[in-house]
Structure 1
Amino acid sequence: MKRVTYFADKNYKIGQVDPKLFGSFIEHLGRAVYTGIYEPGHPTADEDGFRKDVMDLVKELNVPIVRYPGGNFLSGYDWTDGIGPIENRPRRLDLAWRTTEPNEVGIDEFMKWANKLNIEPMLAVNLGTGTPKEAGFFVEYCNHPGNTYWSDLRIQNGHKDPYNVKVWCLGNEMDGPWQIGQLSAEDYGKKARETAKIMKWVDPTIELVACGSSSAEMPTFPEWDRVVLEHLYEHVDYISCHRYYENLGDTNDFLGSFADMDNFIKTIASTADYVQAKYRSKKKMYISFDEWNVWYQKKVELKDWEVAPPILEDIYSLLDSLVFGGLMCTLLQHVDRVKMASLAQLVNVIAPIFTQKGGPAIKQAIFYPFYQVSNYGRGEVLNTLIEAPKLATNRHGDIPLVQSSTTYNAEDNTLSIFALNCSEDEDLVLDAQFRSFGSVQVIEHVVMDGTDLNAVNNFANPDNVKPRNVDVSNKSGDHIEITLPRMSWNMIRLQCTSN
């Protein structure tokens, strides 16, 4: 078997993991909200109509922050449609997805759901059809304690205490021609700057996310990001980026998606650093990777103006979960700049959780790598040194056969290694050295692999694709050999027994 040399040292660090790296996204799109998180009358629904089976799975994923309410939906959405008595709320045409929005769930319901799960909200303001003034009113409704029109309206609606929402997005994908109210970088920069001023005048403690490029394929990338940041650099805390990956028929190219994500992040970071240098700013601009996933962007024919039709309901395979794991490693490798990320999305719409209306909720294949990294990838990311054979790809050039990241959690003195073996033909031996940690003991080695890369989970067979445990008895010392099966995603957890 080929060998991969793997060296981790506690003094070689990339940075601390911000828990917000494991965020997700709920948009008023398809069945993400209705029959996703919210389904009154469902056997598991609580007193507020939220599906408890879905909440249990969200808790398992340990998601700390969720972006809401969109997405493309955002740019035509009036947040005031979703407040007050539900029976008085208007039904609206959603032009983004050509559906009907009943507005049964709005900001107050979303905040109630988030509070049940101890999830921080990441709210977004409409900069398509919306105005800077309306964005300020939204912040006032959510965060001002009282004695003003909008804060008193929140109290009247049954929510005495302010929500104190800290993270706000200034629109969504405003560079896209598909976006309601698309703007040039210059026009967006001006509008977002004035919006940011008003929002921070209402609440100076909030953090703001500027709209970055919606894709590396946009002809304006990364010029859009440069122009936007030149308008907003001292007014915002993050620049957003979005990136999705699809299997176009070449397995090696698909597995190498992590290399594309790596280059994408570096390009955005260097663009932000250019603006910092131009303005001689002392502030470092961080990245909010607030949409990412594997997404098969195929068109589905649906009737116009339905309520919660099945849009973008990708069913994920074992191969998708391997690629997904590689992407998660890349996010970890950039924790010095990527402080927040939102897996798009959380339920039903290109999501790790999939529900049946009136029926069960199941875990998709991508649920497992997200669960593993979210729960065990906390602490500090180490700058591991890896020597691995190369894999030739058409799209990304030569990439390492192994994509990996390592985290060290000082609280429980554990190490977590996450590793993707891209080899279709053979197992690889990971020759891992931990000399600065002294002796280590392998706690567990969990593998996702199988003979059928197209295998999926469904309601008839919800556990068809899931991890398996490997025997790790008698694996200890400062030098450990671990076999990574061919075409596999691996999590190896180690207890440091001496230093």
Structure 2
Amino acid sequence: MRLLHPVAASCSLFFASVLALGAPAARIAVDAARRDPPISRRLFGKFTEHLARNVYLGAWAQVAANPEFAPASRWKGRDGMFYHSRRGASEDQRHLERAVQRGFAPHWFAESDAQARAVPGPHEDQDAMEVKADRPVAVVTAVYLPVWRTRRCELTLTARGEALRQTRPGSITARVATGEGKPLGQAMVAVYPDWRQATVKMDLDATVEVPPGRALRLELHLPPGRFELARALLFPGDHVRGWDKEVVDYLRRASLPLLRFPGGNFASGYHWKDGVGPLEKRPVRTNPAWPGVMEWGHVGSDEWLTLCELVGAEPLICVNAGDGSAGEARQWVEYCNGPATSEMGKLRAANGRAKPWNVRLWEVGNELYGGWQIGHVDAGGYAKRYLEFAAAMKRADPTIDLIANGNDARWNREVVKGAGKAVRSLSAHFLPGSHIPADADTGEVFRDFMAWSARFDQDIASLTRPMVEAGLAPRLAVTELQVFTQHRNLPRNVSQTDALWTANILHAAIRSKGVVELVTHSALVNHGGGLGKQHGIVYPHPVWWVTHLYASQKGTVPVEAKIESPSFEASGKWLGRRGRVPALDAVALLDKAGKQCTLFVINRDDERAVPTEIALAGFDARTRARAITLAGESCLSTNTADAPRSVHPAETTLNVSGGKLTHTFPPASLTRITFEK
């Protein structure tokens, strides 16, 4: 049982007596006639990075775990080699380890005693796997195809070789089979002594039941002979320009306004030219920032910008100011924004895009204050680096908007001092909680997160004060944001806690009157809170619905929302912000036409529902309002591939009379109420 501070106890007794009488415990007064300047929809963005299964085996639809046959020597750690084992079982990992010992590339194996070895691939910085056998052999990898969506798939195979005792070209039978080996579909691929690439389509047997999330096998049946395999790309037939269809659908339905890429820590070692041009010529690298992760080069500038175009999101590119150069950044800007007659514009056109992408937002490096970052530097050194990069990038396109690396107030003051008026905006990253131990009290941790985010306006003021002191317009870009506890029994980024914590921060950003210019929450798929993708099944974490609920509504004009609310006590033990925290927080947004008013209400109290009277002035609302509530059983509630709707928006209709209504907000919930004229 939670012990209460004396003041908290008296408030709780009052609250209980109010509930017993059936009267509202809180009041929210919205006045649509009292308006602030419009907000930017950039506040509701997402961040994505080449990390773990965020891109590959995540948002990108290709399903082979080692599509480039990268040998074990390329992988920094054994964990990365085996994280995609067919069922995550230890016996499966041992099976793959034995295959690696026989020379097979990680994630590939043969069920015979065949041997393999790594050989150079068709182009520089590419690999291939050679298999020699005097009898037929099947080379196999586990894949998770979304067969519940589509039974069509397409395979692109790059190979060369010669079959024994044949004068005509040999052939490989490509087959997709169940985990038990029952064939579902196959196609023949001719193989020649020189490197050739072929794409074939397979229609899988629809009469064979395959439960969602069940591992399938991609089998490459080789005849006797010597063959070299360099690339095997397997896409579901419903992919959208290479992207997972369900991921694209989620982004479209949310009207995602902004997407930051390619990192993150990854950006500080990424060289953008590795990711443009024909796929078959792109180098394969070990991920520079994240051990055990490979960078296949399949997703680069044009692929990311295509995704943004597909879903209507504005791109935010973070350039490599770690081990990259100002000239490299200038060329990247020119590649994206220059005319087709410019040097880099010609390269873009040759790669299939004559029209400029017109990327407006560019971040100059990522977290270069941190010792974990490639090319990290002190504040004074960063200011000099920023000026060099800014000058070079502006030469390529003077109209772009730059974001400098921010950190704490001390760092920000030194950067502003060194770079002066060139600083248009400072970035900020908030990932609290990694230090909290597993045995911490769940409720206490949750309330500390609520207290931390309830006072986020203090962070905004502190971090932008150096700009104000220097006579600059204060502007903050929150480019990474997530609850960062490390234990499953605590509030996490995949739980309802991150949804409410993030909503609190969005409210502070909305109330900042433009000081917070954008927010890109971490992250898109399989890293932080956003979308999950497990064994091919895409599902939303609770915080994804925060992105969806705020980004998909029409309001951009903040109007007055006054709140009277009960409160609870936060200890401040874990995040340092002790004291009383109002249970409710609210913001209201009017659309440009003045015909729709959207009220967002957070109940930060994880134990009590809050009956509330809502009064709406300056807006002649209809007698029905639509409420969408995001709530779970507790602050720890989350979604999984097996239970994707444990935390899911629930819609109800509310009665409005004389501009007033009464509604009870569930514990640990977010509610969006839409009023129409």
Q: Under TM normalisation by the shorter chain, which class is it?
A: 0.7 to 0.9
* Aligned equivalent of 2:344: 150
State the one-letter code of the partner of 1:142.
C
CA contact (8 A) 2:364 2:386 kept: yes
CA contact (8 A) 1:435 1:478 kept: yes
State the one-letter code of the partner of 1:26.
T
What is the deviation of 1:324?
3.2
Which residue, 478, 483, 486 being the options, matches 2:659? 478
* Aligned equivalent of 1:72: 265
CA contact (8 A) 2:464 2:476 kept: yes
* Aligned equivalent of 1:19: 41
Partner of 1:494, secondary structure, is strand
Partner of 1:36, secondary structure, is helix
* Aligned equivalent of 1:83: 276
Deviations 1:183-217 (A, max 9, x none): 1110100111121011112111111111111xxxx
What is the deviation of 1:237?
2.7
**Residues 470 and 119 of structure 1: is their aligned pair in 2 closer, same or farther, counting only changes over 3 Å?**
closer
CA contact (8 A) 2:563 2:585 kept: no
Partner of 2:618, secondary structure, is helix
Q: How far apart are the structure 1 equivalents of 2:432 and 2:656?
A: 36
State the one-letter code of the partner of 1:265.
I
Unaligned residue ranges in structure 2 (runs of 5+): 1-18, 63-233, 437-441
What is the deviation of 1:438?
4.3
CA contact (8 A) 2:32 2:617 kept: no
Deviations 1:238-264 (A, max 9, x none): 211111244944231123232242321
What is the deviation of 1:285?
3.3
State the one-letter code of the partner of 2:250.
L
* Aligned equivalent of 2:303: 109
Pairwise mapping of residues 100-499 of structure 1 onto structure 2 (< 5 A)? 100-213=294-407, 221-246=408-433, 248=436, 249=442, 250=444, 251-276=446-471, 284-297=473-486, 316-357=494-535, 359-376=536-553, 378-395=555-572, 396=577, 397-411=579-593, 413-439=595-621, 441-472=623-654, 474-496=655-677
**Residues 110 and 451 of structure 1: is their aligned pair in 2 closer, same or farther, counting only changes over 3 Å?**
closer
Q: How far apart are the structure 2 equivalents of 1:103 and 1:26?
A: 16
What is the deviation of 1:169?
0.6
TM-score normalised by length of structure 2 = 0.65
**Residues 141 and 399 of structure 1: is their aligned pair in 2 closer, same or farther, counting only changes over 3 Å?**
same
Which residue, 236, 242, 245 being the options, matches 1:43? 236
**Residues 330 and 174 of structure 1: is their aligned pair in 2 closer, same or farther, counting only changes over 3 Å?**
same
State the one-letter code of the partner of 1:285.
P
Q: How far apart are the structure 1 equivalents of 2:493 and 2:413?
A: 36
Q: How far apart are the structure 2 equivalents of 1:378 and 1:339?
A: 16
Q: How far apart are the structure 2 equivalents of 1:11 and 1:315?
A: 37
Q: How far apart are the structure 2 equivalents of 1:166 and 1:445?
A: 36
Q: How far apart are the structure 2 equivalents of 1:292 and 1:36?
A: 20
What is the deviation of 1:177?
1.0
Unaligned residue ranges in structure 1 (runs of 5+): 214-220, 300-313
Q: How far apart are the structure 1 equivalents of 2:240 and 2:551?
A: 29
| CA radius of gyration, larger in | 2
**Residues 132 and 181 of structure 1: is their aligned pair in 2 closer, same or farther, counting only changes over 3 Å?**
same
Partner of 2:480, secondary structure, is strand
CA contact (8 A) 1:210 1:232 kept: no
Q: RMSD in angstroms over aligned alpha carbons?
A: 2.2
Deviations 1:281-322 (A, max 9, x none): 5xx2321111112233469xxxxxxxxxxxxxx772234433
CA contact (8 A) 1:440 1:477 kept: no
**Residues 201 and 351 of structure 1: is their aligned pair in 2 closer, same or farther, counting only changes over 3 Å?**
same
State the one-letter code of the partner of 2:327.
K
Partner of 1:10, secondary structure, is strand
Q: Which runs of 4+ in 1 moved over 6 A?
A: none
**Residues 232 and 348 of structure 1: is their aligned pair in 2 closer, same or farther, counting only changes over 3 Å?**
same
What is the deviation of 1:14?
3.5
Q: How far apart are the structure 1 equivalents of 2:532 and 2:513?
A: 29
What is the deviation of 1:182?
0.5
CA contact (8 A) 1:315 1:456 kept: no
What is the deviation of 1:440?
5.1
Q: How far apart are the structure 2 equivalents of 1:424 and 1:170?
A: 40
**Residues 449 and 158 of structure 1: is their aligned pair in 2 closer, same or farther, counting only changes over 3 Å?**
closer
CA contact (8 A) 1:318 1:456 kept: yes
Q: How far apart are the structure 2 equivalents of 1:343 and 1:325?
A: 11
Q: How far apart are the structure 2 equivalents of 1:272 and 1:377?
A: 32
What is the deviation of 1:442?
4.1
Q: How far apart are the structure 2 equivalents of 1:411 and 1:272?
A: 34
What is the deviation of 1:471?
4.5
CA contact (8 A) 1:326 1:419 kept: no
Partner of 2:470, secondary structure, is helix
- Greater strand fraction, Structure 1 or Structure 2: 2
What is the deviation of 1:12?
2.9
* Aligned equivalent of 1:58: 251
Q: How far apart are the structure 2 equivalents of 1:478 and 1:54?
A: 39
**Relative contact order, higher structure (CA 8 A, sep 6+):** 1
Q: How far apart are the structure 2 equivalents of 1:452 and 1:425?
A: 8
CA contact (8 A) 1:197 1:235 kept: no
Q: How far apart are the structure 2 equivalents of 1:332 and 1:356?
A: 34
CA contact (8 A) 1:5 1:431 kept: yes
CA contact (8 A) 1:445 1:492 kept: yes
Deviations 1:151-178 (A, max 9, x none): 2222222221222111111111111111
State the one-letter code of the partner of 1:93.
T
Partner of 1:476, secondary structure, is coil
CA contact (8 A) 1:14 1:336 kept: no
CA contact (8 A) 2:256 2:548 kept: no
Equivalenced residues, count: 467
Deviations 1:440-490 (A, max 9, x none): 544212223343443321122211221223451x32322332222233222
* Aligned equivalent of 1:216: none
State the one-letter code of the partner of 2:343.
Y
Partner of 2:375, secondary structure, is coil
Partner of 2:59, secondary structure, is coil
What is the deviation of 1:414?
1.6
- Per mean C-alpha deviation after superposition, the further-off stretch among 452-461 and 161-170 is 452-461
Partner of 1:432, secondary structure, is strand
State the one-letter code of the partner of 1:478.
G
CA contact (8 A) 1:380 1:407 kept: yes
CA contact (8 A) 2:624 2:653 kept: no
TM-score normalised by length of structure 1 = 0.88
Partner of 2:421, secondary structure, is coil
Deviations 1:366-391 (A, max 9, x none): 22222111112632112322222222
CA contact (8 A) 1:372 1:491 kept: yes
CA contact (8 A) 2:240 2:248 kept: no
Deviations 1:127-150 (A, max 9, x none): 110111111111112211133432
State the one-letter code of the partner of 1:269.
T
